[in-house]
Chain A
Amino acid sequence: MAMSDVLPSALAGADQYVSAYRWMLLARRMEEKISSLYHAGKIVGGVYLGRGQEAFSAALGVSLRRRKDVFSPLIRDMAGRLAFGEPLLDPARTYLGSVLGPMRGRDGNIHRGRPAEGMPAMISHLGSMVSVVCGMLVARRFRGDVEAVGAACIGDGATSTGSFHEAVNLAAVEKLPLVIAVANNQFAYSTPTDRQFACADLVDRAIGYGIDGHRVDGTDLAECLEVFGRAVARARAGQGPQLVVGRLLRLTGHGAHDDANYVPEALKQTELGRDCLERARQHLLDHGLATVAELEQWDREAVHEVQLAVATAQKDPVPEAAGEDWRALSSF
């Protein structure tokens, strides 16, 4: 099944807000399910969750055109992936090792993608995907497609890699329509930002690269939509790379295995620790964009969709070693 084209991508205003909220909700429910499957021993390999980062991720996803643009997710971008058009069956199948998933059991969990549809399949090595998005944009430029925008998601920790620096500089030199979305969730695994970098704000690095920088409250969906909308529009208009840095907090362990006891309680009580999903829900009610009944209905629908996807994937065939060709080359 290809990534769905059901929803038009460039929704405006309230529609876009509602759309993003529903992707956030679906991602949250899906990840809760994946997490419980993990703790029940039903998942092989690691589980990394985007709890607390859904607004930042989904806002980027809905700001892009499905299939036409490039969206390169990282480990906390379930919401952005779904918003960009990844079918819910993809994570279900990949986490459960189904042979029918996009990775066919050859790779797992977050390392899934549909590169032919504008969503590269991340490798683990942090920082490595940014330059790949650059290449996908260069290819589009060669083809005469000057409309396409590419977005690369990344965490605060991965901004310390040489790979990240090389890629952002390259994008700046080539003036590529690249949006670099840095989710500064204050920790890289257990390492706080003051052991990661010494600049006052990561967004200041944009000056050094000669590109635009934007900072945003990553717990506020409306602000995320506005900032990503602007960044994507500027990239599309030929203004070159856009560095967007979101302030937020990872509301979960690094992985499902991690209790994150190193995150100070006081930090969780700050503005950074607000749950973006709760905030968005309140926003919908406050602005009359949804009733309590509607919110409950959407939630039920999300839960149902998740159950359906997981149930389907659980019935799928798993890969059989005898059926593998064990070939890594296409030519030989």
Chain B
Amino acid sequence: MALTYLEAIREALTRALRDDPTVFIYGQDVATFGGAFKATKNLSRDFPGRVLDAPISEDAMLGMAIGAAIEGMRPIVEMQFADFSSIAFNQIVNQAATHFWRTGVTCPLVVRLPSGGTPGSGPFHSQMMESIYAHYPGLVVLTPATVGDAYSMLLEAVALDDPVIFCEHKFLYYHLKDEALPEESLPIGKARIARMGRHATVVTYSAMVHESLRAAADLAAEGYEIEVIDLRSVKPIDSDTVLASVARTGRLLCVGESFPWGGVCAEVIARVVADGFNLLDAPPQRLNAKDTPIPYHPNLWAAHRPTAATIAESLRRLLRF
């Protein structure tokens, strides 16, 4: 029975609702309608009273979830699109993220962010927000790239006592399939080696894992073995796995779909340079989206974000150094 990334998310939501009476889902159009992407389809029928439609009030949605969480509930908030979480930014970074540290009372909630670009979605329905949220202390930021991780990491996110920003990639929702859900998985905070190699390391996450794997396959045809690391969780970040890989390959390329200024890729490189300078045979590189808003037209969009072709090109340059 093949299962999509989106179905895995729905399975995880189902199981979370079934196993924990303190879980509830809050978001726009999530109840009878089942959500903009149908992630919550049938859940309000199966769990009456626990899947609630929210007004178009991202700030208040998060505030409400925070209030419920500090009272012992485990709300899962669905943002209709990651981009709209900017309206809830204050509640996320100032209220949820600081709460445990300030008061000692935990704030266990999950914010699901349908993230990343799909052709034609334009500047306001395509953003990746992981770098922004990872910047703030007190948040866990997850970026699952596989069907299995979408499932297991969401369940783990619900069980965590900290606020979790769960960045689901919309491009993977329907395309990415797997045969079955995982019985067990790596814990949050552990990266995964998605492909072994010895000539260069690509560190990436979310949809860019798949672009990077395609690039690695292209480079294999040219005689290079590229190691691809899927960070899975960008915060906490698994620097150890990255450093161990760079120790084997001597070369590092970080690939992210978010904007190039600062962010996860910059963080990975800073860590590797600081802690593993002597491991490097070439200056570490990064490849992000371009430093403009995300274009609407598919031709422009395809050139705005990293792709297998541009990743392969960056790798060739890195290998030539």
State the A residues within 8 Å of B (CB): 102-104, 106-107, 111, 113-116, 120-121, 123-125, 128-140, 142, 162-163, 166-167, 169-170, 173, 327-332
State the B residues within 8 Å of A (CB): 22, 24, 54-55, 57-73, 75, 87, 90-91, 94-95, 97-106, 137-140, 160-162, 189, 236
In the bound complex, CA of A104 to CA of B73 (Å): 25
Q: Would you call A121 and B63 a contact (CB within 8 A)?
A: no
- A-B Cβ contacts below 8 A, count: 141
Question: A125-B90, A166-B59, A330-B162 known; A136 and B100 CB under 8 Å?
Answer: no
Give the dominant DSSP class at A's interface: helix
Q: How far is the CB of B265 from chain A (nearest CB, A)?
A: 21
Q: Which residue, A111, A124, A134, has most C-beta atoms of chain B within 10 A?
A: A134
Partner of B64, one of A114, A123, A132: A132
Q: How far is the CB of A216 from chain B (nearest CB, A)?
A: 26
Chain B residues, Cβ within 8 Å of A133: 67
Q: Would you call A328 and B64 a contact (CB within 8 A)?
A: no
Tell me the nearest residue of chain A to B53, going by C-beta. A173
Q: Would you call B137 and A142 a contact (CB within 8 A)?
A: no
Known: A131-B60, A167-B59. 9 other contacts (CB 8 A): A103-B102, A115-B103, A123-B95, A125-B90, A138-B73, A163-B59, A166-B63, A332-B189, A332-B236
Chain A residues, Cβ within 8 Å of B105: 115-116
Q: Would you call A330 and B161 a contact (CB within 8 A)?
A: yes
In the bound complex, CA of A331 to CA of B140 (Å): 9
Q: Would you call B73 and A170 a contact (CB within 8 A)?
A: no
Q: Would you call B68 and A135 a contact (CB within 8 A)?
A: yes
Q: Would you call A103 and B103 a contact (CB within 8 A)?
A: yes
Q: Would you call B24 and A166 a contact (CB within 8 A)?
A: no
| Sample of 16 A–B contacts (CB below 8 Å) | A128-B90, A130-B60, A133-B67, A135-B73, A135-B75, A136-B67, A138-B73, A139-B68, A163-B90, A166-B58, A166-B60, A169-B60, A170-B64, A327-B101, A329-B140, A332-B189
In the bound complex, CA of A129 to CA of B70 (Å): 13
Q: Would you call B138 and A328 a contact (CB within 8 A)?
A: yes
Partner of A167, one of B63, B103, B160: B63
Q: How far is the CB of A151 from chain B (nearest CB, A)?
A: 13
